[in-house]
Amino acid sequence: MIDRRTAHGVELSGYGRSVLGAPLCYLPPRSDSCRLLIIAGLHGEEPETTVALSRAFRSLAAEKLCDGVALIFAANPDGLALGTRGNANGVDLNRNFPASNWQPDPTTCRWHVDEEEEVAIETGSAPASEPETQALLDLISLLEPTCIVSLHAPLACIDDPDQSPLAQRLASGTGLPLVEQIGYPTPGSMGSWASELNQRLITWEFPPESVEALSKTQVPVLIELLSKADY
């Protein structure tokens, strides 16, 4: 039998356009209620999150995907195409959410994971100033997911202020530490915004591994997440 995992084999739905006009697409849930929304590729310099989520999805037979799961493979397509952390406007989308701690001044990020945060990056002209952020907010409002899992790299942890059973399950499966906070301020982040709205959100930070290594260490846990309904 021929292995068909090279292609998605499904039709994605649009939820907006990026700065450069790229379609923002998602896989909608197959049921009326969305229990889990998984978001990858919010930072363009973290393409491994997009590849890992895609590999997990393509490893499942269609009928094995839980009905209430929705997927975003590339929340920042321009950044992924350009290889930049921010979008085409140079804005860090994960510092552009309308949280009360959003700040207009540039924030900083690391060039390498073992270095200090010394690289400046913009946060936008206003909260949710970027089309990718606004489209994502509109989609979340539409779907009303019970839980959001946001995939990032390469800080190697499961970040959940609530230490929820799902976060504990992810930490156990991946061997990554479960933390209540990432360890530094994140003004205007999705996590800050979600916390203020009592929206359940878990940030899954992949370890600094190659795509091939992540396919063996993280993707199996993602596959289990996509196929089990206890969120």
User: Which residues does the annotation mark as catalytic?
Assistant: 205
- Residue bearing tokens 């270095």: 115
CA distance 175 to 118: 29
Cα dihedral value 155, 157, 160, 164, nearest 10: 170
- What sign for the dihedral angle of Cα 59, 60, 61, 62? negative
d(CA 201, CA 184): 18
Residue keyed to tokens 């976060």: 167
- Do the Cβ atoms of 89 and 130 come closer than 8 Å? yes
Q: Measuring CA to CA, how many Å separate 172 from each of 2, 114, 177, 201, 219?
A: 34, 25, 8, 18, 14
